[in-house]
Structure 1
Amino acid sequence: MNGATPLIEVRNLQKFFGPASRPVRAVDDVSFEIHSGETLGLVGESGSGKSTIGRALLRLVESTAGSVKYRGEDLGSASDSRMRFLRSKLQIIFQDPYASLNPKMRVRDILGEALHTHSLVKGKAATADRIAELLRLVGLQPEHGARFPHEFSGGQRQRIGVARALSVEPEFIVADEPLSALDVSIQAQVVNLLCDLRDRLSLTMLFISHDLDVVEYLCDRVVVLYLGRVMEVAPTQDLFARPLHPYTQALLAASPTPDPQVKTIHIPLKGDIPSPVNPPSGCVFRTRCPYAIDACAQTRPEPRAMGGGRFKACIRDDIPSLAPP
């Protein structure tokens, strides 16, 4: 970017589950930065560690090793009282809008709880005005505050989840696959809402998704994950125009295109995703990579600079850079 201190800085992040003798390596030595006003996309197949990273960034799960810094402050060493304050700066939009909303609370109470927890408003009149403002902000009406979550559609519930995240005026939001539980007809509305709010409120976002079309439309840069490790990092336009890592190439080639006249590129991947309990030696992608050689089993590649703000975790530079359809 511009060399300024990033808003969010992730260094060598690890999150293992299970016993120390045989851990599930959900996130294994991941590093990236997110600058103020930027939307960073996080993509990869199911089980790649995307949601775990999002939760670890906000300390909703405690990391095993590594650090997450917000404006240079290490969140891992922050006290409970300090984290309580920082929760107003760091928020999340969950994947399932129904499961993330208390079914026994009216919408006005869900939003009001966040306002009172962080002492953002005082008095019933000010609270009601702020709740009405939040509901209008996400395309709902003030009278919707009297309803319960089950009285809304999936898209409306996700708007309520967005309103709850915005209620505390955060700087940074983790959007954890906010479209996957919605009908296709509703997804575009929520994407446009997030774009509008990002620009209007100068938000910084980590957008977690498996929908590459949405990532291309919404994000400034993209981090590609496989089995808990970073495979590639690049500005969005560059990544979609010329993916460098074989896994990124395979992901983009597998993304459907609506034009039947466009010739698609097929990149065969061998076998299934390995278990994070027993990941392959060397490059974790090598067991499925069509370009793997013996050296890939010996060396664990770290993301290295390729110029133009791009990074690639691959020892080979002779792999053809395929343009997706």
Structure 2
Amino acid sequence: MTVQGDPLLSVNGLSKWFGSPSQGVRAVNDVSFSVGDGEVLGLVGESGSGKSTIGRLLLRLLDPTNGTIRFEGKDISALNERALRPLRRRMQMVFQDPYASLNPRLRIRQILGEALDAHGLARGKARAARIAELLELVGLSADHADRYPHEFSGGQRQRIGIARALAVEPRLIVADEPVSALDVSVQAQVLNLLQDLRRKLGLSMVLISHDLDVVELMCDRIAVLYLGRLMEVGTAEEVNRNPRHPYTRALLAAAPKPDPDAPKAQRLLKGDLPSPKSPPSGCVFRTRCPLAIEACATTVPALETVAEGHAVACIRSDVQELMTS
């Protein structure tokens, strides 16, 4: 799936295997998507679906086994660390655990200052002013700069992590489960902050989450992953209101509903996620799919367009009618 115009980020045939191709773990398998300038794409799936691995591949924290990653029109798939360095400013990550990602021995001004120093962005008074600006940008006070990470709540630490990512003025943020480690009471505050920053700074984002409510709130488009493969890609509204893949429908059915009058969550998925060391032949979802037929064991479904801006990887042309009957 592609976006209109030249995408900021474009991924084609991306794969990542840990170990040998025959006996290793196939964490990501032939994944393609793009992210437009100012767009937020959500990557959704169960634990073990390959979401976080893709996030690290996009920023070249991991090297891809196959495929290409183009950022700002340049293929960064095989660039060495020296060639990647100028690009690091424009693509940053917000990690899941805000405490583990912050050095507990450094004060906040040192944590934020490291990024500025690494890229030579500010010195002296300008450096101190930029640190104060970053803290205020994420809803904290300039006075917080002299504190240590353990002196903050989880939500505040995640705000500091966001400030660190923004310090180098990136165009793309990869946010890996940015609120899953936080109390429910502060999750909405951090999500609202990310929304505000996106509008204010014109950021593009890849938001990794298992929470479909979070993804629908934050994202323009959603890409659904299962065992390292894309099952469905479409606009957030279309995927949530009109899911075309049995796996997407199962995820939506299992999601808790805040409305007490809404239908109760259902568990449509049977069994456990297969091992990525020995994925099923054909369609990787077939062993848990209620609509699987014999051909699903031998055919790897391609991601094909079923409506404008909406693509699904399923060989059954009648899948929509079967899911709604």
Q: CA deviation at 1:271?
A: 1.6
Could you say if the C-alpha distance between residues 323 and 283 of structure 1 is closer, same or farther in structure 2, counting changes exceeding 3 Å? closer
Q: Is the 8 A contact 2:28 2:229 kept in 1?
A: yes
Match of 1:120 in 2: 121
Structure 1: give runs of 5+ residues left out of the alignment: none
Structure 2: give runs of 5+ residues left out of the alignment: none
- The within-5 A match list for 1:243-322 is 243-264=243-264, 266=266, 268-320=268-320
Match of 1:3 in 2: 4
Q: Deviations over 1:51-107 (max 9, x none)?
A: 000000000011111110001101123232221110000000000011101111110
* Aligned residue identity for 2:77: G
Could you say if the C-alpha distance between residues 35 and 323 of structure 1 is closer, same or farther in structure 2, counting changes exceeding 3 Å? farther
Question: TM-score normalised to the size of structure 1?
Answer: 0.96
Q: Is the 8 A contact 2:3 2:35 kept in 1?
A: no
Q: Deviations over 1:234-272 (max 9, x none)?
A: 001111111000000000000111223223474632321
Match of 2:234 in 1: 234
Match of 2:148 in 1: 148
* Aligned residue identity for 1:98: Y
* Aligned residue identity for 2:281: S
Q: Deviations over 1:113-169 (max 9, x none)?
A: 1001011113x2110000000000000001101011111110000000000000000
3-state secondary structure, aligned to 2:136: helix
Q: CA RMSD in A?
A: 1.5
Q: Aligned equivalents of 2:249 and 2:321: distance in 1?
A: 8
Q: Is the 8 A contact 1:90 1:173 kept in 2?
A: yes
Q: CA deviation at 1:308?
A: 1.2
Q: Is the 8 A contact 2:254 2:268 kept in 1?
A: no
Could you say if the C-alpha distance between residues 295 and 2 of structure 1 is closer, same or farther in structure 2, counting changes exceeding 3 Å? closer
Q: Percent identity?
A: 60
Question: TM-score normalised to the size of structure 2?
Answer: 0.96
Q: Aligned equivalents of 1:21 and 1:28: distance in 2?
A: 14
Match of 1:27 in 2: 28
3-state secondary structure, aligned to 1:320: helix
Q: Aligned equivalents of 2:264 and 2:323: distance in 1?
A: 10
Q: Deviations over 1:191-239 (max 9, x none)?
A: 0000000000000000001111111111000000000000000001111
3-state secondary structure, aligned to 1:31: strand
Q: Aligned equivalents of 1:75 and 1:318: distance in 2?
A: 40
3-state secondary structure, aligned to 1:59: coil
Matched length: 323
Q: Which runs of 4+ in 1 moved over 4 A?
A: 321-324
* Aligned residue identity for 2:68: S
Match of 2:75 in 1: 74
Shifted more, 70-79 versus 224-233: the winner is 70-79
